[in-house]
C-alpha cells in the first residue's frame, strides 16, 4: 500500500495567483509511459442529475467487460444541490425534506449529507481499482491526498486528515468532502473542494453528520488577497489535475467528449 507524506506548510501569509494557463494545456509533468486517464473539465455548472447519469453510464461501460475502457476523470461544479449518502439519515437536515431550499437527492455513495454549489470543484474519477490498488481505504486516502497537495501547491495551505473523519481539513474546519461508491472495483462519486463556495447553505444541514466542526473554503481562508473567484477556480482546476496525476501516477489526456 502506498504511503503519503504530507507536504510541509508554506511560510507565506498570502500566496499570489500565478500566471494564467489556458484550459487547453495539459497538467504539468505528464509522462507517456503511465496509465492513461481521460479527463474533461466544465466551465459552467452541470446539473447534479446529469453528472450522476454520466458517471453511471461510464461505470456500466467499464463493468460490462466487452472491451477495456480507460479511466475517466470529470472535473466540474454543480448548481446548488444537497445529496444524501446511501445510508444517511434525514436527521442531519435542518429543513423539511419534503420542501428543501435546493434539490435533494439520495445517492449510492458513502457518507452523510453534503451540499454542492458554484465555487466548489468536484472530481468524479471513474477508475478501475484492479489496475491500481484494490483497496477502498487506499482510494479514499488517495483522494484526500490529491486535495492536500493541491492546497499546498496553489495556496500554501496545510490540509490535514482527522482520525475517524473522512475528508480534508484546514484549521479543524472541513474544506473537502469525500464520498465514493464502487462496482466491480470501478469507482464513481468522488471529492468536493470548497474553493469560492458560498458556505451559507451548509448552515441548513449537519455537513457529513459532524456537528462539532465547521466548514471552510479557500476563499474564506484569505490566502489569495485580491484574487477574483474566477482566478481561484482556474488555479485550483490545474492544481487538482496536477495533484491527481501525481498521486495516482497517471497520464491525464484531455477530451472534449461527454
Query: Does residue 26 sit within a domain?
Result: no
Q: What is the pLDDT of residue 162?
A: 94
**Mean local confidence (pLDDT), 141-159:** 98
Q: Which residue among 37, 63, 165, 208 is the active-site one?
A: 208
Q: Please check whether residue 161 is in contact with residue 61, taking contact to mean a CB–CB distance below 8 angstroms.
A: no
Query: Does residue 140 sit within a domain?
Result: yes
State how far the alpha carbon of 67 is from the alpha carbons of 60, 130, 131, 138, 246, in Å: 12, 15, 15, 26, 27
Q: Give the distance, in angstroms, between the CA of residue 147 and the centroid of all CA atoms in the same chain.
A: 8
pLDDT, tens digit (0-9, with 9 covering 90-100), for 101-120:
999 999 999 999 999 999 99
Query: Does residue 19 sit within a domain?
Result: no
Query: Does residue 135 sit within a domain?
Result: yes
Q: What is the pLDDT of residue 32?
A: 57
CATH number at residue 81: 3.30.930.10
**What is the grid cell recorded at 11?**
511560510
Query: Does residue 18 sit within a domain?
Result: no
pLDDT band per the 50, 70, 90 thresholds, residue 82: very high
Pairwise CA distance, residues 58 & 51, whole Å: 11
> What is the count of structural domains for the chain?
1
State yes or no: pLDDT of 168 exceeds 70.
yes
Q: 179 is in which domain, residue-wise?
A: 35-254
Query: Does residue 3 sit within a domain?
Result: no
Q: What is the pLDDT of residue 98?
A: 95
**What is the grid cell recorded at 162?**
482527522
Query: Does residue 21 sit within a domain?
Result: no
pLDDT, tens digit (0-9, with 9 covering 90-100), for 87-103:
988 999 999 999 999 99
24-33, 178-187, 235-244, range with the lowest pLDDT: 24-33
Q: What is the pLDDT of residue 223?
A: 81
Pairwise CA distance, residues 64 & 46, whole Å: 26
Q: What is the pLDDT of residue 67?
A: 67
Q: What is the pLDDT of residue 256?
A: 80
pLDDT, tens digit (0-9, with 9 covering 90-100), for 47-67:
999 999 999 999 999 998 776
This prediction has a pTM of 0.88
Interacting residues of 251 by C-beta distance below 8 A, sequence separation 6+: 30, 31, 32, 34, 35, 36, 37, 245
Query: Does residue 4 sit within a domain?
Result: no
- Catalytic residue at 208? yes
Interacting residues of 122 by C-beta distance below 8 A, sequence separation 6+: 51, 74, 75, 76, 77, 78, 116, 190, 191, 192, 193
Amino acid at each position: 500500500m502506498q504511503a503519503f507524506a504530507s507536504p510541509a506548510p508554506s511560510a507565506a501569509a498570502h500566496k499570489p495567483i500565478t500566471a494564467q494557463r489556458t484550459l487547453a494545456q495539459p497538467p504539468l509533468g505528464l509522462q507517456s509511459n503511465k496509465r492513461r486517464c481521460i479527463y474533461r473539465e466544465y466551465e459552467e455548472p452541470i446539473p447534479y442529475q446529469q453528472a450522476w447519469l454520466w458517471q453511471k453510464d461510464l461505470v456500466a461501460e467499464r463493468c460490462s467487460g466487452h472491451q477495456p475502457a480507460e479511466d475517466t476523470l470529470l472535473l466540474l461544479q454543480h448548481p446548488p444541490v444537497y445529496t444524501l449518502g446511501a445510508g444517511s439519515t434525514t436527521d442531519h437536515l435542518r429543513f423539511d425534506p419534503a420542501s428543501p431550499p435546493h434539490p435533494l437527492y439520495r445517492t449510492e455513495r458513502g457518507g452523510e449529507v453534503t451540499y454542492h454549489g458554484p465555487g466548489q470543484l468536484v472530481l468524479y474519477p471513474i477508475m478501475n481499482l484492479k489496475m491500481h490498488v484494490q483497496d477502498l481505504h487506499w482510494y479514499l486516502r488517495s483522494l484526500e491526498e490529491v486535495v492536500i497537495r493541491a492546497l499546498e501547491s496553489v495556496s500554501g495551505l496545510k490540509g490535514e486528515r482527522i482520525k475517524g473523519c473522512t475528508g480534508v481539513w484546514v484549521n479543524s474546519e472541513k474544506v473537502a468532502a469525500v464520498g465514493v461508491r464502487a462496482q466491480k472495483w470501478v469507482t464513481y462519486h468522488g471529492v468536493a473542494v470548497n474553493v469560492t463556495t458560498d458556505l451559507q447553505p451548509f448552515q441548513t444541514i449537519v455537513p457529513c453528520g459532524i456537528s462539532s466542526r465547521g466548514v471552510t473554503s479557500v476563499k474564506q481562508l484569505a490566502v489569495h488577497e485580491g484574487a477574483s473567484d474566477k482566478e481561484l477556480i482556474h488555479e485550483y482546476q490545474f492544481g487538482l489535475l496536477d495533484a491527481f496525476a501525481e498521486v495516482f501516477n497517471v497520464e491525464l489526456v484531455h477530451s472534449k467528449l461527454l
